[in-house]
Amino acid sequence: MEDDRIVEQATTTRDTRLSAQARSLLEGMATDLLQHRAQGTFPLEDAVMRLDASAYTCPERFEAEKQRIFRRVPLVLGASCELPSPGDFKTMDVAGIPVLVVRHRDGSARALFNSCTHRGAAVAQGCGTAARFTCPYHGWTFAQDGALVGVASASDFGAVDKAALGLKAFPTVERAGLIWAILDAETPHDPADLLGGIDALLDGFGLADWTFVETRALPGPNWKLAFDAHLEFYHLPVLHRATFGPERSNRAFYYRHGPHQRVIGPAPRPGDAAASEDAADDLYTLGRLPQGDEPVNPLMIGEWIVFPGVSINIFHPNGRRGVFISTVLPGTQVGESVTVQTYLSETPPDAETRAKIAELCAFLAHVVGEEDLPTSAHQQKALAAGVLREVRFGRNEGGLHHFHKWIDMLVDSDDAALAQLLADPCRPM
Ligand code: FES
Ligand SMILES: [Fe+2]
């Protein structure tokens, strides 16, 4: 009897953000990481991988990626806490598709095609809060779920089937505090079915309860060139020697989950875990798996890569935990992208923390905007010149191997195969 009571207590005090299965997967990664550290080992890919330069420069290839990846794969369109209240909305351009993301008064997030069903104008711009959306061209009005609720001078205009002329709605779900949608109003799939369990792992953050702090957008070259820089740490002590420092390790461990990944350095980042109020947030500092009712934070360390173009990094400005989310989206042309940087804080930041977050975000905007993206822009120009026919990914650049293999695989998959690939995260590569 006594033993039963103890077991029950242990169960109820355990952090409940994670399912047992997700926790076990995260513990497996953490155990592997700690073993490598104890043994001083470091896994590498089997061979150097080569990629044809046209992967970054060919307009047909770019079009295929827009159609076959960005319109078929569930995309993270933002964090739930960016749109905390009914009517909160933001607009974005995703691979040439204008999207309006809005919090409906029933509490759900909706991703809508930001194009009036009269003649196509944008019904919303920027971000804000709105009870309804009135098209600025001729004044048709749409509700928060996209329903057409008003036609200007309706009797002059003539017959309109209002029920059929709502804004096109994209299938949308919220999971792990993120808003995901498939940007195809006709898709037969529910985005929730294609997450392959990455949402269950990201639940370890509990992002739904966090606070949105700030966002900015940086223009860049081809989306894959811009995103490649998030997929390896090889360049950190070289390209970022002036910002991150030349002593920063250029090694990384890669853990894969379907097309998604985690990229984890071999040691705590200088000044990061140490600056945390709770240094035990870092697995390396803790040196073991978190037990019982301890926070799951040490199981979440590293950079989380959510396919196709999202990277989530953890920081502790002023000792307060937060995440810096970078979302790389293709532009309209093969050589254009935008990197959207968004900061979320685990707890509402006080004035001092807010100032430290602003400093951190400005620093990271500098790192990416002045170091990474200009480098990628040169790569774009040079590769388009057709002299260098291929690029190569080292055995130590496993994140790039995985990412580009998945891009190829999904572009080449029919709808049924794509759904199967995404739904099953355990498929070996
Ligand atoms: S295009 Fe929107 S009202 Fe005419
Ligand atoms: Fe970088």
pLDDT of 12 strictly over 80: no
pLDDT at 275: 47
Contacting residues for 279 by C-beta, under 8 A, at least 6 apart: 273, 285
Write the residue with the smallest CA distance to atom 1 of ligand 1: 119
Ligand number with the minimum distance to the CA of 114: 1
Residue 150 CA neighbour count, 13 Å, CB half: 14
pLDDT of 208 strictly over 50: yes
Q: Which domains are assigned to the chain?
A: 14-60+197-423 (3.90.380.10), 76-194 (2.102.10.10)
Rg of the chain (C-alpha set):
23
pLDDT tens per residue across span 230-277:
999 999 999 999 999 998 899 999 999 999 999 999 876 655 544 455
What average pLDDT does range 401-419 have in this prediction? 97
- Closest ligand 1 atom to residue 121 Cα is 1
Q: Which among 198, 315, 336, 332 is positioned nearest to 261, based on CA atoms?
A: 198
Helix 398-411 and helix 415-423: axis angle, to 10°? 150
**207 neighbors 176 (Cβ within 8 angstroms):** yes
User: Does residue 61 or residue 3 have the better pLDDT?
Assistant: 61
Q: From the CA of 277, how far away is ligand 2's center (Å)?
A: 27
**43 neighbors 36 (Cβ within 8 angstroms):** yes
pLDDT tens per residue across span 287-322:
899 987 888 999 999 999 999 999 999 999 999 999
Q: From the CA of 232, how far away is ligand 2's center (Å)?
A: 8
- Cα 163 to Cα 254: distance, rounded to the nearest angstrom: 49
Q: Token pair of 401, please?
A: 């191997």
For ligand 1, say whether the CB of 139 is within 6 Å of any of its atoms: yes
For ligand 1, say whether the CB of 135 is within 6 Å of any of its atoms: yes
Provide the greatest CA pair distance for the chain. 79
Query: For 376, phi and psi rounded to 5 degrees?
Result: -65, -35
**Mean pLDDT for all residues in the chain:** 92
| Most ligand 1 atoms within 8 A of CB, residue of 114, 138, 157, 162 to mutate | 138
Regarding beta strands 133-134 and 178-181, do their DSSP bridges make them parallel or antiparallel, or are they unpaired? unpaired
Q: Model confidence at 14, in pLDDT bands (50, 70, 90)?
A: low
Q: Which among 115, 154, 155, 153 is positioned nearest to 135, based on CA atoms?
A: 115
| Most ligand 1 atoms within 8 A of CB, residue of 114, 115, 116 to mutate | 116
| Most ligand 1 atoms within 8 A of CB, residue of 117, 118, 148 to mutate | 118
For ligand 1, say whether the CB of 151 is within 6 Å of any of its atoms: no
- Cα 337 to Cα 368: distance, rounded to the nearest angstrom: 13
Helix (H, G, I), strand (E, B) or coil at 83: coil
Look-up of token digits 């496993």:
398
